[in-house]
Amino acid sequence: MLDIQQLRKDLPTAVAGLARRSVVFDEAQFRALEDERKKRQIETEELQAKRNAASKQIGIMKAKSEDTTAVMAEVAGWGDIQKANEVALGELQEKLNLFLRQIPNIPHADVPAGKSELDNVEVRKWGTPKTFDFTVKDHVDIGEALGGIDFDTAAKLSGARFSVLRGGVARLHRALAQFMLNTHTLEHGYTEVYVPYMVNDHCIDGVTDLEKFRDDGFKIEGRDMYLIPTAEVPVTNFVRDQIVDIKDLPMKYACHSPCFRAEAGSYGKDTRGMIRQHQFDKVEIVQIVTPENSVAAHEELVRHAEAILQKLELPYRTMLLCTGDIGFSSAKTYDLEVWLPAQNTYREISSCSLFEAFQARRMMARFKNAQGKTEYLHTLNGSGLAVGRTLVAVLENYQNADGSVTIPTVLVPYMGGMTKLEVPK
RNA sequence: GGAGAGGUGGCAGAGUGGUCGAAUGCACCAGACUCGAAAUCUGGCGUACGGUUUUACCGUACCGUGAGUUCGAAUCUCACCCUCUCCGCCA
């Protein structure tokens, strides 16, 4: 949510900022709502003050056993007027609130202008894609040959866009999650957390727009609860409705969880394989920081995600998303794209976003600054990494001519010393 | 799922219709005393929204949430949510 005080003070800057991401801010509607709200609010509060004074007067008079009939007669009708005022004011404020909550974040100044992912800017590239002296297979063929990926059984159980993993591939999937979690907690200073996978709607609305989420999320039948689309939701909401102590900052959390997404809009894309699933695992890293530290924290966080790819020796590039491609709540986002030999291209494996105070305002997440004043926190997060897609990348980049897959060196201890997944005879 | 108890400021805890945004204690901040610290004393110490003459003053709201009764609700009524204890079920 944008800062309404800021909008009142300097609307043109906000409008121009939103225009960069092709969002048309309805100035006329905003001004009309604001004017009406101001008028109604002053009116309502003045009458309320009058009534409060009169009621207090009655109390004092009664204490002295004076006659109060005259005052009470005067006040008699005010209650109904007041109630009507309050209802009208409440409706206006609700309208204004809804209006504001549907407006996305303003892109950070250094986010490049652009319409789609085609306009994203590559900021750095790491590693060189390996050349193969045989025809490469994609992860589906590799995994099925290993007896490790089974989409047919998954379809029988749950339908399309689910997978069943078996044996060494299933263990490799687990090894990846463990490795990521250990790296972030032992080397990058994050605290491991375990969280609920079902959350209430306040949590969703705290990090993104609940209305927009309804199409993409899974709601629990008969309850006001959703399956989490990412651990960002429960973890960021740790600080909802809180004023945290500055000495507890920065907060850095790493969380391994499954993620559930309906992705209603993306049918037809990536239908083959494990790239786009209704359920996938992810190790999420979240930071909650003071405003002056957030830009530096964002750069640091991207490097933490990159470190995983480097240790796995997977070639990748870091993309700065353009104004047309950043998410609703984000002010600035880096995507990490890993090299997939079978697709002969880089594919998204992590998204690291800086939200500034956008989520904090929605969540009422604040801290007391050095001067003792309450201020909104800044929140940021990133995938460190998406486990399913990392599994895909490992299978494809480490495949051998005979169909076997070499285990990346850093994962060998997590695989109980195993160095290769072999095709069963 | 059943029965009972309860939800008040950072925490503990008083307050059962009227100068209550709320006693008191703890914690915290500033000052005094001290070489320094402790102890003691003095003062301060919620949040949101709004207005204005905009580091200040004033107003409004907030005692789990929502509705109701009343001139007036933390206090009375109803519904809901949550927590705790016991029972049942259970990895």
DSSP A154-179: HHHHH-SS--EE-HHHHHHHHHHHHH
Whether residue A67 has pLDDT greater than 90: no
Share of chain A above pLDDT 90, in %: 60
Whether residue A373 has pLDDT greater than 90: no
Give the pLDDT mean for A65-94.
80
Confidence of residue A126 (pLDDT cuts 50, 70, 90): very high
Whether residue A210 has pLDDT greater than 90: no
Residues 2-31 on chain A lying near strand B, CB distance under 7 A: 4-5, 8
Confidence of residue A356 (pLDDT cuts 50, 70, 90): very high
- For position A400, what pLDDT does the model report? 97
Active-site residue set of A: 261, 276, 348, 351, 389
CA/C1' separation A72–B68 (Å): 21
Whether residue A266 has pLDDT greater than 70: no
- For position A94, what pLDDT does the model report? 83
Give the pLDDT mean for A221-247.
87
Whether residue A241 has pLDDT greater than 90: no
CB atoms within 10 A of CB A365: 24
Q: Which range (A117-131, A296-310, A364-378) has the least confidence?
A: A364-378
Q: Which range (A38-52, A158-172, A257-271) has the least confidence?
A: A257-271
Whether residue A264 has pLDDT greater than 70: no
Share of chain A above pLDDT 70, in %: 99
Q: Report the mean per-residue pLDDT for chain A.
A: 91
Rounded Cα distance, A365 and A395, in Å: 41
Q: Which nucleotides of B are covered by protein (CB under 7 A)?
A: 10, 18-19, 46-51, 59-61, 68, 70-72
A58 CB neighbours strand B below 7 A: yes
Continuous segment of H or E residues that includes residue A73: helix A69-75
- For position A127, what pLDDT does the model report? 96
Rounded Cα distance, A243 and A364, in Å: 8
A198 CB neighbours strand B below 7 A: no
A61 CB neighbours strand B below 7 A: no
Strands (E) located in A230-331: 242-244, 251-260, 279-289, 316-320
Question: Residue A293 in 3-state DSSP?
Answer: helix
Q: Which range (A33-47, A158-172, A260-274, A318-332) has the least confidence?
A: A260-274
Q: Between these two residues, A225 and A132, which has the higher pLDDT value?
A: A132
CA/C1' separation A296–B68 (Å): 53
Residues 75-104 on chain A lying near strand B, CB distance under 7 A: 75-76, 78-79, 83
- For position A254, what pLDDT does the model report? 97
- Spatial CA neighbour of A230 closest among A99, A359, A377, A343: A359
Q: How far is CA A122 from CA A118, A298, A299, A322, A334, in A?
A: 11, 17, 15, 10, 9
CA/C1' separation A292–B79 (Å): 46
CA/C1' separation A367–B35 (Å): 37
- Spatial CA neighbour of A252 closest among A190, A332, A161, A344: A190
Residues 224-253 on chain A lying near strand B, CB distance under 7 A: 243
Instruction: Give A328's DSSP letter.
Output: T
Confidence of residue A401 (pLDDT cuts 50, 70, 90): very high
- For position A120, what pLDDT does the model report? 96
Q: Which nucleotide shows the minimum CA-to-C1' distance to residue A371?
A: B29
Under the phi-then-psi rule, with left for phi > 0, alpha for psi from -120 to 50, and beta for the rest, what region is A298?
A: alpha
Residue position matching structure tokens 């800086």: A354
Whether residue A190 has pLDDT greater than 80: yes
Q: Which nucleotide shows the minimum CA-to-C1' distance to residue A72?
A: B71
Whether residue A45 has pLDDT greater than 80: yes
Predicted TM-score of the model (pTM): 0.91
- For position A89, what pLDDT does the model report? 85
Whether residue A191 has pLDDT greater than 90: yes
